[in-house]
Amino acid sequence: MGVIFDQVNELSVDLGGVAYPPEVDNKKEIHDMARKKYVEALDDKLGAIAKFLGKDDWMAGKRLTYVDFFIYDVLDKHRCLFLPKHLNKFPALIAYMIRIENLKGVKEYLNSDAFKPMPIFGPFAFFGNSEDFVPNE
């Protein structure tokens, strides 16, 4: 479990680095280059998560753990921030997300007025920082 948690955590940290590039004069250029590089590697990274999951319902096999909620959160960010073509290549990950979304409590929250899919990042991020953000890659 620790291996998949670490792998997905690294993906999440890298995503934050794309959203918040270093404080330099050419920040927009750095962001654009980092985002392009990130997207180029995204399918491989999502594929590794799907491979780890395999045919199991949860990352620990038959047991739902906190790691599943963390991984769901990271996958959901990717669903909101990037075009569906990336996640759609991995039906096992889509089914995994649907299983989590149908859990008692989660389903009610996602269907409530309290749930807001966007923004994901704060106002100083380069993308995913407004309610009307639309993915373009």
Q: What is the pLDDT of residue 25?
A: 79
Task: Could you please state the CATH topology (level 3) that the domain comprising 2-110 is classified under.
Answer: Glutathione S-transferase Yfyf (Class Pi); Chain A, domain 2 (1.20.1050)
The pLDDT assigned to 63 comes to 97
Q: How far apart are CA 55 and CA 136, in angstroms?
A: 31
Q: Please tell me the predicted confidence (pLDDT) of residue 128.
A: 95
Name the amino acid, one letter, at 95. Answer: A
Residue-level pLDDT at 78: 97
Q: Convert 42-53 to b/e letters by CB count within 10 Å (16 or more is b).
A: beebbeebbebb
pLDDT score recorded for residue 68: 98
Phi-psi label, residue 73: left if phi above 0, alpha if psi -120 to 50, beta otherwise? alpha
Give the model's pLDDT for residue 90: 98
Residue type, 59: M
| pLDDT per residue of the chain (137 residues) written in tens, 0 to 9 | 789 999 999 999 999 999 998 877 788 899 999 999 999 999 999 999 999 999 999 999 999 999 999 999 999 999 999 999 999 999 999 999 999 999 999 999 999 999 999 999 999 999 999 999 999 88
DSSP-derived secondary structure letter, 56: -
Return the pLDDT at 22: 84
In the three-class reduction of DSSP (H, G, I as helix; E, B as strand; rest coil), residue 60 is classed as strand
